[in-house]
Amino acid sequence: MADLRFFDKAGPFTLGELAGRIKAELADAADADRTVGDVAPLDSAGPSDVTFLDNPKYAEAFAATKAGAAIISPKHQDTAPHGVALLLSKEPYRAYALAAQAFYPASVRATPHYGAPGIEGNVHPSAKLGEDVIVEPGAVIGAHTEIGARTLIAAGAVVGQGCTIGRDSYLGPGASLTHAFIGDRVLIHGGVRIGQDGFGFAMGLPAHEKVPQLGRVIIQDDVEIGANTTIDRGAGPDTVIGEGTKIDNLVQIGHNVSIGRGCIIVSQCGLAGSAKLEDFVVLAARVGVAGHLTVGMGAQIAARSSVTHNVPAGEQWGGSPAKPIARWRREIAAIQRLSRPKKKT
């Protein structure tokens, strides 16, 4: 159960209502009028809670659960404990996410840190703020900025001169924004840095000459950016983050990088300048992508891999340097065979 000091809870809901919200089907229509009041894990759920099973590794916990209802795949229906109402879904984890959103709707949108709406920070007279914008204490809103309706600028955040932020967005505590245009429903968590200089120098004697970084950062709608991630502005072309992309904490995105729609970039990844990710690419944790390379649409890169060549669309690569994942696994297996102690004759 969530700590209600931090989260407001909705409900209770009948299982019929909940099934409609999460696009699931009740295994027994007679359960439609049963009510549940919260979501909970398999091992701690009680008779008034709804839980879920997605990973079969937790089948034993599912068999012992005391939950009143469970969201499961139809293939697990026969293993359900007696008395547990079943909500059947082909995607139980997605359905659970929708159920949790139903009980805790504020958990997926920004809520004030200061505890009171209004304009408390330093706002330049030329800035344009939409209806119900919140600017918390210590935040700075620069000249000629535009911020859309219902956007929250958290304590200590900075929106630099000329930047725009769309509707229903969030700039977290201590985050900074410069040379950037941000879309609607964008969540930017605390400590993020967007729009600072790209790392560009004409190297040599007598000194490394700084190359002016004259581009921008364009972040499209429904993007989420984790805490302490950094996104450099372009040197000439813009740095672009496509619609619906989700970026974890502690990611570095260099100048001129282009990221498509619906990408997933996990923590501690680094993308060098002018790298390109096409739509729906997945980079697992600590992947590095060298500059001027393209990772094709739908490709997936295993954790701790170093991408030094273009990756074709739809392929899975891994290793350092990265290569098609089947080849990488064969190489690992071969090395393991070579390292085994020889049997004594």
Backbone torsions φ then ψ of 21, nearest 5 degrees: -70, -35
Q: Is 11 left (phi over 0), alpha (psi -120 to 50) or beta?
A: left
Catalytic residue among 76, 82, 255, 309: 255
Hey, what's the torsion of the CAs at 175, 159, 107, 168, to 10 degrees? -160
Which among 271, 221, 234 is positioned nearest to 250, based on CA atoms? 271
Query: Is-cis flag, bond preceding 12, omega within 30?
Result: yes
SS3 label, residue 15: helix
Tokens at 227, concatenated: 């805490």
Of 13, 34, 145, whose CA–CA distance to 84 is shortest?
34
Q: How many other C-beta atoms can be found within 10 angstroms of the C-beta atom of residue 291?
A: 13
Q: Assess whether 255 carries a catalytic annotation.
A: yes
Active site (catalytic) residues:
255
